[in-house]
Structure 1
Amino acid sequence: MTIAVTTPTGRVGSRVLRMLLQAGVRPRVLVRDPARLDTAVRERVDVRQGDLTDGAFVREAVAGARSVFWVDPTPHTDAEPVATSRRTAAPVADAAREGDIARLALLSSIGAEKRHGVGHIDGLAGIEEDFDATGADVLHLRCGYFFTNLAMEAGSLAQGVLSTTADLDAPLAWVDPRDIGDVAAARLLNEEWKGRVVQAVHGPEDLSFRRVAEILTGVLGRTVRAEAVADDDVRGALRAAGLPEGAVEGIVGMMAGTRDLVREQPRDVVTTTPTTLAEWAYAHLRPIVPGSA
């Protein structure tokens, strides 16, 4: 059983890699810089060095794998994020269509079920459709809002502000990327599932941004308030930072497009994962927010 893992040094991919190693599997890893892998890890994996945006490299690197775990590497700053996401994943779809891959597991997102109108997430929706059309067994992991997104707000949190374009009182699924990695690894190791499978990864509970601010108040030892920001204000800030228009709309559209989302998968025992926001924040956010008590 050969399992190919993309972005093996990323938040989710690194966890998938660790779980597979602990299960006794020797994964194949597609990585740009093998030096970023721990030395002990490099000795236990089949390294294929190259860039995931290089279609020829990807097509060759995944050939013959039983399963491929695909994480879209397209940055949100890309000028055409949706088109780039689909184009980058195309060699994997081609390999599956031609019978060189039996199973595909995609790191997708809540909101992909809408198919259109969700910013950069539309790219993941397109990859889902492209993978579905291959005839391979396909798993789409529809993940909630990453806890790790809060790390980008460390400076604002130091000032006691958590800003968002979301409805401050609307509950959202929040999840630890490590838990996503655990679910992905478990699915990759399970040979029983067939056809098209969609599995949401919702974290332990739905949280509004106002509730997140309350939790962070306790963790950081300072009052944190949730503050609403208009979509156009975010657009202005992103344009001022020099981002191209496609990137601006890709970023703004992700939150705007999910405001009215009715999730396709309900919260249940399969979609709920264990790590709480408070646990994660004490371990990973508190150390990087200046002045945390």
Structure 2
Amino acid sequence: MTIVVTTPTGHVGSRVVRLLLQAGVRPRVLVRDPARLDEETRARVDVHRGDLTDAGFVRAAVQGARTVFWVDPTPHTAPDPIATSLATAAPLVEAARAGDIARVALLSSIGAEKRHGVGHIDALAGIEERLDATGADVLHLRCAYFFTNLLLDLEGLARGVLTTAFDPGRPMPWVDPRDIGDVVAARLLGDAWRGRVVQAVHGPEDLTFEQVARILTGVLGRKVRLEPVDDDAVREALHAAGLSPAAVEGIVGMTAGSRDLVPEQPRDLTTTTPTRLDGWARTELLPLLRR
């Protein structure tokens, strides 16, 4: 069984690699800088060094693998994030179409089911559609809002401010990326799925940003104030930071297009994962803010 893992040092990919190793599988990891892998992991995986935006590297690196776990590496700040994401996934799609690989598990997102109008998430929808057309077995993991997105504004949280452009009172699924890694690893190791499968990963509960602010207040031991902002304010800040118009709309669109979203997959036993936000915040967020 040859399993390829992309972005093996990320929040999800690192968890997937660890679980595969614990299951006795030696994965093939595609990584730009092997030094980012800890020494023990490097000794237990097959390292293919290269850039996922290099089509030749990707085609060679996935050749002969049974399963590929694909995480789009495109930053939201890329000049044209949607086009870049689709171009980066093109060699993977071609490998699946050519039969070089049998199965692809894609780290997608809730919102991809809308297909259009959700900013950079539209790229994941496009990758889903392209993979669906290859004839390979494909698994789309539609994931909730990552707990780790809170780490993007540590400075604000250190001041006791949680800023959001989401509707503060609308519940939405939140998830620990490590729990996503658990689901991914279980799926990669299993042989039950065939054809096209969609697996939502909704986390333990839906939360409003108002609830998140209260949870963080309890964990951090000081008041965390919620500061809602509108889309125009976000656009202005992103333009001021030098982002391209396409990048700005890709970021703003992810929030704006998700406000009325009802996930295609319901919350049930298979879509609900265990780690709660308060526990994650104590072990991951609080130490960072104390430093």
- When normalised by structure 2's length, the TM-score is 0.99
Q: Is contact 1:19-1:182 (8 Å) kept? A: yes
2:249 aligns with 249
| Whole-angstrom CA distance in 2 between matches of 1:275 and 1:290 | 22
| Whole-angstrom CA distance in 2 between matches of 1:289 and 1:156 | 10
Root-mean-square deviation over aligned CA pairs:
0.9
| Whole-angstrom CA distance in 1 between matches of 2:2 and 2:156 | 44
After TM superposition, the structure 1 = structure 2 runs for residues 166-177 of structure 1, keeping only pairs within 5 Å, are 166-177=166-177
Q: Is contact 1:31-1:49 (8 Å) kept? A: yes
1:162 aligns with 162
2:89 aligns with 89
| Whole-angstrom CA distance in 2 between matches of 1:86 and 1:265 | 24
| Whole-angstrom CA distance in 1 between matches of 2:162 and 2:39 | 38
Aligned length: 291
Which residue identity is paired with 1:19? L
Gaps of 5+ in 1: none
Output one character per residue of 1:175-224: Cα deviation in whole Å (capped at 9) or x when no partner.
Answer: 00000001000000001110100000000000000000000000001111
1:184 aligns with 184
2:29 aligns with 29
Q: Does 2:231 match 1:222?
A: no
| Whole-angstrom CA distance in 2 between matches of 1:281 and 1:290 | 12
| Whole-angstrom CA distance in 2 between matches of 1:38 and 1:222 | 35
| Whole-angstrom CA distance in 1 between matches of 2:268 and 2:226 | 28
| Whole-angstrom CA distance in 1 between matches of 2:166 and 2:154 | 18
**Cα drift, residue 290 of structure 1:** 5.0
Gaps of 5+ in 2: none
Name the SS for the 2:44 alignment partner: coil
**Cα drift, residue 289 of structure 1:** 2.0
- When normalised by structure 1's length, the TM-score is 0.98
2:4 aligns with 4
Which residue identity is paired with 2:45? V
Range that drifts further, 219-228 or 6-15: 219-228
Q: Is contact 1:155-1:290 (8 Å) kept? A: no
**Cα drift, residue 39 of structure 1:** 1.1
Q: Does 2:72 match 1:100?
A: no
Q: Does 2:220 match 1:233?
A: no
Q: Is contact 1:105-1:140 (8 Å) kept? A: yes
